[in-house]
Amino acid sequence: MNWKFEDMSMFNKNPRNVQDVSRRLNHVMGPKITEDHHSAHLLLANTPPGPGYVMDIDRLDYDLDLDKRAHTPDELHVALRPVLVLAQCFALMPLYGVTSPHPKHLRFQWFSIRVLYTCALCLGSITIVILSIIRTVNNGISFLSTVDFVFFGSSAIVALLFLKLATEWRDLVDEWGPAERKIIRIYGSLSNLPNQIRTMAYTVMALAFAEHVTATATHLANALPCTNGEWNWRLAEAYYHLAFRQVFSQTEVSFWIALPLSVLNLLVTCAWNFMDLFIMVLSVALSARFKQINDKLESVKAKVMPRWFWRQTRESYNTLSCLTKRLDETLSLIVLLSFANNLYFICLQLLNSLKPLRNLWQAIYFVFSFGYLVLRTATVSLFAAHIFDESKRPVSVLFSVPSECYCTEVQRFLTQVTSDNLALTGCRFFSVTRTLMLTVAGTIVTYEIVLVQFNAVNSADDNSHNLTANCFM
């Protein structure tokens, strides 16, 4: 609820309002306000914030309760703890206070070991990108030659985007907290939300690690012919030549270069997968709040409800509407990069499917990697689209409101639901809805036809099928 300072009539009607406001302002502004009716009235009347100033009681509630209560497990800051801890393992979201019980302890410091860790990931990825460009210029360009450039380049961008997000995260949580608290106060907590988020996080990262292991095993299998099937240091040397051609075409293989490259490759893989995971968990957290409102509306469908009920529901919906737009402003670049990345690598995997598979490990890797990539892309799309779906669910209930209780609040609510498109977007180039999946599928088919024709031109000069020729190139 928002109360305007210039409207003093409410205090005369209900002195308890003054006591409540005085108690909250006493916490936020200091011990300047007493519970005396006259002194509170006088202070509010003489407060100089200017005409039309709105005192946000929900915000005061949140600030007041911050030190005195334990946060419920389904609140964003609490529910995202394991996700943010995972992010910091992968050099993302360099924040302090992510495991604190209160979001007020969140802080970002430019000069810190966590930011240095993120910068190291960016620097390593950019170095690989530069070496990949040099190799591509020397050997000629093809779609397959851009893989390392795109993979490591996008990972550097991911790290920079999450570094930017870390600087804004406290502000987002400070806006999310009061809005979420308002919904919890009216519609209750979601006991299963933290478990759902943890399950998603551990599942996605476990699959990402499994994909990384199969990719490593595939490179080892491809390197075996270089040593006539013997497991020795020459096998490791051949493996690194095949896996990191752009690096070891410029220098000799050494332990002090190979080990950091292996760590970097693992971090980049995890960061690349975490980008999709982060979109999923935030989409779940937001759509679950919309679902609470919709479930309540479904329970009163076609029933006569008082005007205050429709006003309360509309204001709750509007709170989530503002939160959705705020989240979209924060995530839009990450959403755009996620869909661009997934589109590129799906096309790449489809193109690789046209080539003969050299060994069993390559077949296993292709099936697992392609299946996981498609599944992850579809899951991100569906979870993000669920926000749009839930935001439109009230329409059927509002059309069923009996005529005897139809009022201005219902009309305003219906107008907002039908005219406002609440969805995550990729920098407003596209909105993430269910129809987007069909659009992406059609785009993939079109691109694949072009890529098949483009790569057919270069296939005559491609000697990648000759493993021995590429062992130590």
As averages over each run of 10 residues, the pLDDT of the chain (473 residues) reads 40 44 45 39 40 42 47 81 93 91 88 94 94 85 80 94 95 92 91 92 94 90 77 80 82 84 93 95 96 94 92 95 95 95 89 78 88 93 95 94 91 94 92 90 81 61 48 58
What is the C-alpha to C-alpha distance for residues 425 and 28, in angstroms, rounded to an integer? 36
β partners of residue 96: 107
Buried-exposed string 216-250: b where 16+ CB fall within 10 A, e elsewhere:
bebbbbbbbebbeeeeeebbbbbbbbbbbbbbbee
What is the C-alpha to C-alpha distance for residues 387 and 283, in angstroms, rounded to an integer? 7
| Residue 95 dihedral angles phi and psi, to the nearest 5° | -115, 155
- DSSP string covering 418-438: HH-----BSTTS-B--HHHHH
For helices 37-45 and 15-29, angle between their N-to-C axes, nearest 10 degrees: 60
pTM to 2 decimal places: 0.82
Are the CB atoms for 21 and 2 separated by under 8 Å? no
Per-residue pLDDT at 234: 79
Per-residue pLDDT at 108: 92
| Residue 67 dihedral angles phi and psi, to the nearest 5° | -95, -15
Identify residue 243 by its one-letter amino acid code. A
Per-residue pLDDT at 174: 92
Q: Extract the tokens encoding 144.
A: 């397959």
What is the C-alpha to C-alpha distance for residues 89 and 86, in angstroms, rounded to an integer? 5
Per-residue pLDDT at 42: 38
Buried-exposed string 430-450: b where 16+ CB fall within 10 A, e elsewhere:
bbbbeebeeebeeebeebbee
| Residue 418 dihedral angles phi and psi, to the nearest 5° | -80, -25
* Helical segments of 224-306, H only: 233-243, 245-248, 255-299
What is the C-alpha to C-alpha distance for residues 266 and 194, in angstroms, rounded to an integer? 27
What is the C-alpha to C-alpha distance for residues 40 and 150, in angstroms, rounded to an integer? 62
Per-residue pLDDT at 19: 47
Q: Extract the tokens encoding 19.
A: 């006591």
What is the C-alpha to C-alpha distance for residues 35 and 371, in angstroms, rounded to an integer? 64
* Helical segments of 306-433, H only: 307-352, 360-392, 394-399, 408-419
Domain ranges of the chain: 2-65, 76-457
Per-residue pLDDT at 27: 44
Q: Extract the tokens encoding 321.
A: 């509407």
